[in-house]
Amino acid sequence: MESMIYKHHAARRRIIQLSLWPVVAVVIAFGWRYPVLGYSVPVVMLMGMVGGFVRGRYVCGHLCPRGAFFDRVMPSLSRRRPIPAWMRSGIFRWSVLAALMAFMVYRIAQNPGSFDHWGQVFWLMCTVTTAVGVVLAVFIHPRAWCTFCPMGTMQSALDRGQARILIDAEKCIECRACEIACPMNLAIIRHKDSGTVADHDCLRCCQCCSVCPKDALSQAV
């Protein structure tokens, strides 16, 4: 019964993501001409910051248009290799965040009074980082970019452990179906002994729960 609940959750998430990912294409394709579209970037950033306090990287896994693009479009084009550990390292992640924020401030400062200029800066950042994400998705893993995405890094830092995934060690047979399904390529089984997937990059998407053949995974309330 519980597995069916998570399967319904996965189906609902899929529908939401299929409706969201075209936003990325529209912003990139037309944002240079209509800068107002670039403001979708700070909107998603704000959603991520607020969501980080509530459920960690939930927004990344459910409401981020670019995350939806990587989940629904890129898997069929990806080599799906393990994400390198250095991409997950704190030094690398915070360096990327600092560099991108510095670039954003520098570019905005060139014409701070222009509404259109701000929109163009957001559009440019979205376009360039998405291009990088697509390359990483093809040659490494669909969500390789998401391991060090600045907003993901901030959400991970704000994560207080709400609604984490629980593991029933007695039921788990270590088939690793959960790890194959995990969008973030997380090593879920290594948390078996503790009983809780205490990884701040968990998206709370429950994909792992929906594919577990033994119902060993569940989400804390």
Residue 212, pLDDT above cutoff 90: yes
pLDDT tens-digit map of 101-132: 999 999 999 999 999 999 999 999 999 999 99
Q: Tens digit of pLDDT for each residue in 150-202?
A: 999 999 999 998 999 999 999 999 999 999 999 999 999 999 999 999 999 99
Q: What is the pLDDT of residue 78?
A: 97
Residues 100, 104: Cα–Cα separation, whole Å:
6
Q: At what angle do helices 40-55 and 65-72 cross, to 10 degrees?
A: 80
**Closest-CA residue to 13 (of 181, 140, 188):** 181
**Strand runs (DSSP E) across 66-195, as ranges?**
165-167
Tokens 């033994």 correspond to 214
Give the other-Cβ count within 10 Å of 199's Cβ.
21
What pLDDT does residue 1 have? 59
- The two three-digit tokens of residue 57, written as one number: 């990287």
Question: At a CB cut-off of 8 Å and minimum separation 6, what does 45 contact?
Answer: 151
Nearby residues of 23 by Cβ (< 8 Å), 6 or more positions away: 40, 65
Q: How confident is the model at residue 221 (pLDDT cuts 50, 70, 90)?
A: confident
